[in-house]
Structure 1
Amino acid sequence: MERRNAWKTYTQEQLKELDQINDRYKICLDEGKTERECIRLTVKELEKQGYRNLNDIKGSLKTGDKVYAVCMGKSIAMFRIGKEPLENGMNILGAHIDSPRIDVKQNPLYENEELAYLDTHYYGGIKKYQWVTLPLALHGVIVKTDGTVQEVSIGEKEEDPVFVVTDLLIHLAGKQMEKKASAVIDGEKLDLLIGSRPLEKEERLDESEKEAVKANVMRILTDYYDMEEEDFLSAELEIVPAGKARDCGIDRSMILAYGQDDRVCAFTSLFAMLDVKEAVRTSCCILVDKEEIGSVGATGMHSRFFENVVAELVALTEGESELKVRRALQNSRMLSSDVSAAYDPMYAEAFEKRSAAFFGKGLVFNKFTGARGKSGSNDANAEYLAEIRRAMNTEDISYQFAELGKVDIGGGGTIAYIMANYGMEVIDSGVAVLSMHAPWEVTSKADVYEAYRGYKSFLRNI
């Protein structure tokens, strides 16, 4: 079934809006390279629009009120109270804001042959060989024992230094090149090179001081962040590609950037939430952490954070009632907004073309995800698919249905099955991405725009 190319349908006015949405999106990608940065950015945008922190609410909530709740600075749920009672259900947009990366270990700083390194542990599904010889940046927080929080971002400004994971030169790599791709770079060799200059003579305790390069690194960190080496124990530092989101292609039709899985869905969901002014049902957008490692922990979708916040809302709108909380969750409709694999002609053998997602053909719906025999999948109901089609057609959204590659080749999962445990209707939807999980991923500007439009239509028309 052939789907239309969205680029061929746009008016000049729509093309102008498309550029505005994508420029807005690129700014968010640059400012939100970690979960914490995404949450800070989201809260700033919400409060500009009059959203209030749920913790500050006194009394009750009424139709049109806008609130949000944050979990540990890494997940957020936002709501606009609708005309219908909350127990009738919500329209929920859900996405994740964590992305594959390299994390710094808790006892990381060491010196080897007068080179200083940070010891690391990769996060999420990556091809390790893709992360060597790239300019890398360091983002995160250092929390001291007195509770002081120091934010860290090194490598993004033009004048900043960058970091790198080294690789073996081709001239000596005969044995390395014989290895399988999964073993070409060992996980323990993804350590970050951060220094090579020893302390000045006058700063050394004596001429024979060992690890003078490591000592110089600590001196710099102390000067900038007032930290001691032990402060690494209570730090969360993430290593990500350095550099801004860029237009891709001579026609500027695409975006090349880090972390588009799944921030392309997270930020377009946020934009839709901010731009839809009124809806019959309560609108909700939830942006969560830890999806790339199984949605675990207090800030992942498996936690009770979302359920607890809904209980608070029910108490503030209809009076405390466990039954109404259960009804609110079960009667909800959700788009689990996560990316799809875009058809890549360079690797056509991995895709079944009739069921693939294509660049420029709009928002992608996946009836099911999982692996092989749909293992680990939420498989959306046909009745709900018909509702989704109607909502998309109502506002002439370009959309397509797809699967993640050939049946026996692999697979993947999202947060959809977790939310479906409440008995709500859920379907996966998102943007097609080339080079998914690579340090730099590619999306189509048309698909970013259609995702934004589609999410707005969902909030208004379901």
Structure 2
Amino acid sequence: MSKEKSEGKELKKSLFSSRKNAYLRMKADEIKKCDKFCEGYKKFLDAAKTEREAVEYTVKLLKDHGFVEFKPGMGLKAGDKIYVNNRGKAVIMAVIGSEDIKNGVHLCAAHIDSPRLDLKQNPVYEDTEMALFKTHYYGGIKKYQWTVIPLALHGVIVKADGSKVTVTVGEDEDDPVFCVNDLLPHLAQDQMKRNLAQGIKGEELNIVIGSRPFKEDDLSEAVKLNILNILNEKYGITEDDFLSAELEAVPAFKAKDIGFDRSMIGAYGHDDRVCAYTALMATVKCKNPKKTAVTILTDKEETGSDGNTGLQSAYLKYFIADLAAEFGTEGRTVLSNSECMSADVNAAFDPTFPEVMDKKNCAFINYGVCVTKFTGARGKSGTSDASAEFVGKIRRLLDKNDVIWQTGELGKVDMGGGGTVAAYIANLNVDTIDVGVPVLSMHAPFETVAKTDVYMTYKAFSAFIGQ
């Protein structure tokens, strides 16, 4: 019997999946590298709370590492490093490989927009001697989560004369912050009868911006006037200038370590800047790849990837066409032979809410980068569903490069689901799979990720584009 048990244990060892917590698999020196890498990531999160700021941060970093702006016809050779800035909201970067580009490129694609509160085009109003901003939320949010937290204002205002003003208020220690008020429990009996989705309605997400009136008797809307006067003195704007502004209210707090062991990072915007940063750093450090490495940080994913800075636009296809032309080939030839890691997050298992997950097919924190074969909703609606052959190829690549990885779906089959940019790239005839970091409290103003998963995602992208 003991011999049979021994044989059974050996058989289980060889046949059963044996994945376990990354901390039990990583050596001490690699854990130190992981923690150091994540310090850089936290700085990125604090510096890039909007898509515009993420592009600005990225372009500066690229220039510091020898990347130059791509101009069609400039002439390229192996080892050259180039980038394209699309309207200040999306960026593509590439390291030219030694292999003929007609054999395809290795592409990483992440998005740099996150859920937030956008100001309406006519946002400023006064009610009962209080000045407020009207907002229109961006992306999928739980609206109640955006009340009674400190908010910062980021964005640009284009004035009537065409000049542009950059706005960032609420990030410095001495800056004021803003907030959305909520009812006190004592008076919220009717509100608390609403369902959770309607606990706070979209039109109730009004941001408080002031209460002090302009000092003059018999003046209507004196608080609004005082606020607009302050803004005029600081930025030289009038109320009409909000018509041509893009102003975003985002959480004012900074990225922080979570837990006594500092094993996790809490911050706004992990979805999907955690994949954007890891893909960016993998590209910056990429040297002498065989296949050309292309990384795209895109906009508008949270609202469906529409618009000329989203990945349903043709700008990626145009870039590949221009790149292919540099080497005398067709863009469609390059795309048809290319492979892509769609760099986006997945939902991590939360022991407080186990009922929404299939524990055999979900991602766990500290189990490494998550490879997601398909996304979509319910009957795989809206997914590209990577082929078994491509999944097998990625699996071998990660194992060969000592990347700790796992696989997972976004919740139980009929629970909901979600999508990424993978389908739009796959539609260009590119082998595509989702690869990214598991996230707790996704789409909340304060999300959580594990440092080991962040680092393993960086290692995965480095292995992929460094081939």
Q: Secondary structure at the match of 1:346?
A: coil
> C-alpha distance in 2, partners of 1:172/1:380?
52
In structure 2, the residue matched to 1:75 is 90
1:270 is displaced (CA, Å) by: 0.3
The correspondence of residues 130-209 of structure 1 with structure 2, limited to 5 A, is 130-201=145-216, 207-209=217-219
> C-alpha distance in 1, partners of 2:271/2:358?
22
1:155 is displaced (CA, Å) by: 0.5
1:255 is displaced (CA, Å) by: 0.2
> C-alpha distance in 1, partners of 2:29/2:73?
43
Match among 381, 388, 394 for residue 382 of structure 1:
388
Select between 137-146 and 155-164 the one with higher mean Cα deviation: 137-146
In structure 2, the residue matched to 1:11 is 27
Match among 107, 120, 139 for residue 122 of structure 2:
107
In structure 1, the residue matched to 2:267 is 257
> C-alpha distance in 2, partners of 1:349/1:326?
44
In structure 1, the residue matched to 2:449 is 443
Change (3 A) 1:133 1:59: closer
> C-alpha distance in 2, partners of 1:423/1:249?
44
In structure 2, the residue matched to 1:396 is 402
Match among 257, 263, 269 for residue 279 of structure 2:
269
The correspondence of residues 210-249 of structure 1 with structure 2, limited to 5 A, is 210-249=220-259
Sequence identity (%): 50
Corresponding position: 1:28 with 2:33: no
Say how many residue pairs are matched.
451
Match among 359, 368, 374 for residue 362 of structure 1:
368
> C-alpha distance in 1, partners of 2:321/2:429?
16
Query: CA deviation digits over 1:30-58, x for unaligned, max 9?
Result: 00000000000000000001000113x76
> C-alpha distance in 1, partners of 2:428/2:319?
15
In structure 1, the residue matched to 2:63 is 47
> C-alpha distance in 1, partners of 2:18/2:151?
41
Corresponding position: 1:425 with 2:440: no
Paired letter, 1:124 = G
In structure 1, the residue matched to 2:12 is none
Paired letter, 1:375 = S
8 A contact 2:156–2:246 mirrored in 1: yes
Q: Secondary structure at the match of 1:453?
A: helix
Q: Secondary structure at the match of 2:160?
A: coil
8 A contact 2:78–2:288 mirrored in 1: no
Runs of at least 4 residues of structure 1 off by over 4 A? none
Query: CA deviation digits over 1:95-115, x for unaligned, max 9?
Result: 000001110001110100000
Query: What do you get for the CA RMSD once the two structures are aligned?
Result: 1.0
> C-alpha distance in 2, partners of 1:250/1:301?
40
> C-alpha distance in 2, partners of 1:194/1:11?
50
> C-alpha distance in 1, partners of 2:163/2:316?
28
Q: Secondary structure at the match of 1:345?
A: coil
8 A contact 1:66–1:78 mirrored in 2: yes
Q: Secondary structure at the match of 1:77?
A: strand
Match among 332, 344, 350 for residue 338 of structure 1:
344
Q: Secondary structure at the match of 1:427?
A: strand
8 A contact 1:4–1:398 mirrored in 2: no
Give the unaligned 5+ runs of structure 2.
Answer: 1-16
In structure 2, the residue matched to 1:453 is 459
1:333 is displaced (CA, Å) by: 0.4
1:146 is displaced (CA, Å) by: 2.5
1:12 is displaced (CA, Å) by: 2.7
The correspondence of residues 86-101 of structure 1 with structure 2, limited to 5 A, is 86-101=101-116
Instruction: Normalising by structure 1, report the TM-score.
Output: 0.96
Paired letter, 2:341 = L
8 A contact 1:51–1:67 mirrored in 2: yes
1:9 is displaced (CA, Å) by: 2.2
Q: Secondary structure at the match of 2:423?
A: helix
> C-alpha distance in 1, partners of 2:224/2:442?
36
Q: Secondary structure at the match of 2:340?
A: strand
In structure 2, the residue matched to 1:290 is 300
Paired letter, 2:124 = L
1:27 is displaced (CA, Å) by: 0.3
Match among 318, 323, 326 for residue 332 of structure 2:
326
In structure 2, the residue matched to 1:350 is 356
Q: Secondary structure at the match of 2:136?
A: strand
Select between 427-436 and 137-146 the one with higher mean Cα deviation: 137-146
Instruction: Normalising by structure 2, report the TM-score.
Output: 0.95
